[in-house]
Structure formats: C-alpha cells, structure tokens
Amino acid sequence: MSTMLQEPQITQDHLVVQTKDLSKRYGKIVALDRATFSIVPGCTGLLGPNGAGKSTLIKLLLGLLTPDQGEATIAGCDVRTQPLALRKLVGYMPEHDCLPSDWLAQDFVRYMGELHGLPTRTAIQRASDTLYHVGLGEERYRAIGGFSTGMKQRVKLAQALVHDPHAMLLDEPTNGLDPAGRDEMLALIGRITHEMGINVILSSHLLIDIERVADSVVILNAGRILAQGTLRDLMQATPAVTVRTRTSAAPLAEALRKRGYAVEAERDELQVEYRSEEVYDAIRDAAVEAKAAVVYLKRRVLSLEDIYLAGESTPAQAQQDGHLSGRPEGML
C-alpha cells in the first residue's frame, strides 16, 4: 500500500531520484515490488526494517543491479542505460566493512577520487580537504587497518564525498557506532546536506536517525513503498486533533459526534477527526454544550513509527506474496 501524502512542489528536472514500478526478484523472493517514488533535493531517509529492500534499492540506483521491471533515474541518469555516467555523479557508502586495511587513508580516498574521474593533482588536494572535513585531518597518513570503527566510517564517508557528488547514497552509516560516534556521524551528514548542499539518501532502520537529519522519507517494508513525502508533511498530515479535558471526556465526545465528527475517547482524552480548521470551532461549541473544561487541544503529530505502523502490510500476507521477511521489530 503506497501512501502519497503530498506531491513536492518541484519540477521533474530537479528530482534527485525518480522511479516507476521498479522491481527486483532474487529467484522466488521479491526484494523490491513495483516501487514508484520521487526523491527531492535535500536529505532523504530510506527507512525500513532489515530485509525491507533498502540495499537492493541502493544497488539498483547505482546501476549495480539490473531491475527486472520498471525504470529509475538518479541525478538525471537512467540506471539501465547510463550506469557509468551516473556513478560519476553519485557517492556510495556501503553498510559493511569495505576498506583496504593496508592502505593509508589519504591514498585510498585520493584513489577513489581518481576512479571517479578527478585528475590526480585535484584528487590529492581534495582527499586531504575531505579527510579534514570528516575529522581525520591528523590521521590521514595512517593505515586504515589501525582505525577504530568510527574512524573507518568517516573514511567511508570521505571516499563517497571526495569527488563532489550530486547525490550520496549512505547505507546504514551509523552501523556499529557508539552513541557519541552516531551523534557525530549524523551531525556530519546534516552538514553535508544543509551546508554543502549535497543531496543525501540515507538508508537506515533507525527511526531516530532519520528523524534527526532527513527532510523527506521513503518508507519500505517487504519490498514495497509504504509511505513517502517530506518529514514535516508526513508527521503533521494527521487527520486528528487531541483534546484533553479536566474530567471525563465522554460528554464532549458525544457532543462532537452529534456534530458529525468521528471521535475516539479514552478517559480524559479525545482524538477528534480533522477535516478542516473548522474542527476547532466545533470543539469550542461542543465543550460549551457539554460543560467540559478543556485543558488543551492540539493537532496530533505522528512519529515516523506511527506512520510506519499505519502503513505496514501484515507480515503473513507479505510472506504469502513471496516477499522477504519484513521484521518490523528490527526497526528501532
């Protein structure tokens, strides 16, 4: 079930990623099922539990896998027909360990810059600058094998950044980091997006990471797109207003129902259906009628977890359909 909450106000030329009916199977297992979505400039979270299809989607966007069906463009390049051109414009940070232990950090980042088309002299300079930027300026002439997990994650980020990509695909960049390291990595990703203006697509199963740095989100489960849109729209476009009363909320609920609103009541709290701004007038009038003392009322703001749970298809159904096991409990 795909939930299209709000179309971004942006022309197609500016979209970082656009897909239509993108599908990928591994034998009988559907890793990605007719995924249709757009990613606008900024930082976009790719959210889903382990096995949701995030890494498959990233590999399809890099042109490393060929889709079985559908089409996709990234940075204006078709993933089927222009895989080499798109990889010049995209930086990739894999989830797993992928660094050569006996290379110096500076040499490796420079090498990746050259592979992405930078002239040698430029690559040397930019490798230094990028390693400074990710906080490894002093350690850049050390062998990567001696680095901590946090430092290795920074080298991975630097190699994805060195060639000044149009977009960066970061696959679980906070994996294996302690809380302080995670904070620093997320701050770095925030700076890359908001200060340097590089589009970031951040794949994660951690809601808290996405909420912290992403402007938009694409939510996946069992290979399907559950929801997409800007974080602000997704979290605010909730058709409910929360009303807290001093005493029982039942009389107020009854008065609102008489006015045609759907209401869920629980002791001193109500969830009132939101259709327009007029709901606030109706609540005021109903409160007068029911002689209810309203403590506060506010538009209900969803967390990403609410959105995820609301859009999630049942795991049993997904398995019957031959999808990868979507383990919602794996999403924290």
Partner 1 sequence: MIENTVTGAASTNARIIDRGYQHYDGERLGLAHSEWVMLWAALKRGVGLRRSFRHKIMPWLLIAVAFLPPVVILGIQVILGRVLPSPYTRVYTRLVFVFVLFAGLVASDLLCADRRERVISLYFSAPITRLHYVISQVISLVTLLLLLTLVPYVMLFFGQALLAPEFGTFVSDNLSDLRNVLITGVLLAFFFGTLAMAVASFTDRRAYATGGFLGLVLVSSIAGGILSGSERIQFNGHEWFSLIDLMSLPLRVMSWLFGDEPRALLVDGANYLWASLAVIVLSLALVAWRYAKVSD
Q: In angstroms, rounded to a whole number, what is the distance separating the alpha carbons of residues 201 and 214?
A: 9
Single out the residue of 213, 249, 198, 231 nearest to residue 303, CA to CA.
231
Cβ-based nearer residue to partner 1, 111 or 280: 111
Contacts of 138 (CB under 8 A, 6+ apart): none
Q: How far is the CB of 94 from partner 1 (least distance, A)?
A: 5
Among 36, 111, 124, 325, binds partner 1 (CB under 8 A): 111
Among 35, 17, 24, 98, which Cα is nearest to 65's?
A: 24
Check residue 159 for interaction with partner 1 (CB under 8 A). yes
Q: Please state the closest distance from residue 123 (CB atom) to partner 1, in A.
A: 9
126 binds partner 1 (CB under 8 A): yes
Question: Does residue 107 bind partner 1 (CB under 8 A)?
Answer: yes
Q: Per rule CB under 8 A, is residue 119 in the interface with partner 1? A: yes
Residue 132 per-residue DSSP state: H
* Residue window 70-99: x/- pattern of binding to partner 1, with contact defined by CB under 8 A: --------------xx-xx-x-x-x-xxxx
Closest contact distance (angstroms) between CB of 203 and partner 1 is 14
Residue 152: partners with Cβ closer than 8 Å, 6 or more residues away: 97, 99, 144
Identified binder of partner 1 from the candidate list 66, 69, 81, 101, rule CB under 8 A: 101
Q: Is 318 helix (H, G, I), strand (E, B) or coil?
A: helix
Q: Where are the alpha helices (DSSP H) in the chain?
A: 54-61, 83-88, 105-115, 120-133, 149-161, 179-194, 207-213, 231-236, 250-258, 278-290, 304-311, 315-320
Please state the closest distance from residue 157 (CB atom) to partner 1, in A. Answer: 11
Q: Residue 134 or residue 270: which is nearer to partner 1 going by CB? A: 134
Contacting residues for 260 by C-beta, under 8 A, at least 6 apart: none
In this chain, which of 35, 40, 47, 118 binds partner 1, going by CB under 8 A?
Answer: 118
Stretch that binds partner 1, among 115-123, 200-208, 252-260, 303-311 (CB under 8 A): 115-123
Residues 6+ apart with CB under 8 A from 91: 116, 159, 160, 161, 162, 163, 165, 167, 168, 169
Site for partner 1 in 164-223 (CB under 8 A): 164, 196-197
Half-sphere exposure of 75 (CA within 13 A, CB side): 23
Least Å from the CB of residue 141 to partner 1:
11
Q: Where does this chain bind partner 1 (CB under 8 A)?
A: 59, 62, 64, 84-85, 87-88, 90, 92, 94, 96-104, 107, 111-112, 114-120, 122, 126, 129-130, 132-133, 143, 159, 161, 163-164, 196-197
